[in-house]
């Protein structure tokens, strides 16, 4: 069965970097795009962008350019989100979500990774 | 392209509730609409994809539809159960590939 298992909670200081992993199984990693979604405390879902697992091409939406980096390690079917120069307002749960490739596909979600930024 | 949902809805167990998702700045029928359920302290899961298709394991009490005339999508939940109490998000696309989420609707089953 399709599974996306994310790395655990992180407590980070402002200015530090953090790297979240999203290890997948149960499907061909290179077929489906990987999306990243942020959910700030008490807020809704916010799409950050996506990475093509076929080409590595990334798309970042406004507000997530510069400090946010999507990457892949296809050898272990894992996607990564790195956030540099953390700010307190980056405190949120970050989700990876497998996108769709063909009609009949639907989105599978990771369990989320809580990043808390505090001094 | 913006998707607007009611902030909250409430209904009694056993009843039927419909959550709307209204598009603005584009035609909602141009791209598929998905619905996600997020129970408290849990990750979202896919309920409905491609407007009206249920994801595997989703009971047929959940149904989705799109109405071009009102430029809106709807999620209908019949035979409400207390376990349906959750946040529900609609999602579609802008420029074909960019995800757009509605703001979410908190469903209370009382």
User: Which residues of chain A are within 8 Å of residue B87 when distances are taken between CB atoms?
Assistant: 44
Q: Which residue from A113, A116, A99 is spatially nearest to A52, judged by alpha carbons?
A: A99
Q: Using CB atoms, which residue from A45, A61, A107 is nearest to B46?
A: A107
pLDDT in tens, A17-43: 999 999 999 999 999 999 999 999 999
Give the pLDDT of residue B76: 98
Is there a contact between A14 and A90 (Cβ–Cβ < 8 Å)? no
Give the confidence band of B95 by pLDDT, cuts at 50, 70, 90.
confident
Decide if A107 and B100 are in contact by the 8 Å CB cutoff: no
B101 interaction partners in chain A (CB closer than 8 Å): 44-47
| d(C-alpha A110, C-alpha A112), whole Å | 5
Contacts of B22 (CB under 8 A, 6+ apart): B3, B4, B5, B28, B70, B71, B72
Dist CA B10 CA B59 (whole Å):
20
Across the interface, do B43 and A108 touch by the CB < 8 Å criterion? no
Q: List residues of B whose CB lies inside 8 A of any A CB.
A: 34, 36, 38, 43-46, 49-50, 53, 55, 87, 89, 91, 97-104
Q: pLDDT tens digits for A58-92?
A: 999 999 999 999 999 999 999 999 999 999 999 99
């Amino acid at each position: 069965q399709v599974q996306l298992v994310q790395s655990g909670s992180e407590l980070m200081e402002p200015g530090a970097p953090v790297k979240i992993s999203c290890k997948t199984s149960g499907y061909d990693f290179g077929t489906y795009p990987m999306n990243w979604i942020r959910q700030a405390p008490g807020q809704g879902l916010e799409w950050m962008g996506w990475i093509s697992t076929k080409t590595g091409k990334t798309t970042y939406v406004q507000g997530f350019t510069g400090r946010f980096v999507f990457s892949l390690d296809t050898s272990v079917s894992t996607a990564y989100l790195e956030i540099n120069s953390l700010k307190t307002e980056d405190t949120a749960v970050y989700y990876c979500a497998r996108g769709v490739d063909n009609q009949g596909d639907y989105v599978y979600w990771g369990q989320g990774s809580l990043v808390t930024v505090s001094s | 392209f913006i998707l607007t949902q009611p902030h909250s809805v409430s209904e009694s167990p056993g009843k039927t509730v419909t959550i709307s998702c209204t598009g603005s700045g584009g035609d909602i029928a141009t791209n598929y609409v998905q619905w996600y359920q997020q129970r408290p302290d849990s990750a979202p899961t896919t309920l409905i994809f491609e407007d009206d298709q249920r994801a595997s394991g989703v009971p047929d009490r959940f149904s989705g539809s799109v109405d071009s005339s009102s430029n809106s999508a709807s999620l209908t939940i019949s035979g409400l159960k207390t376990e349906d109490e959750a946040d529900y998000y609609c999602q579609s696309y802008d420029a074909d590939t960019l995800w757009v989420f509605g703001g979410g609707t908190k469903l209370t089953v009382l």
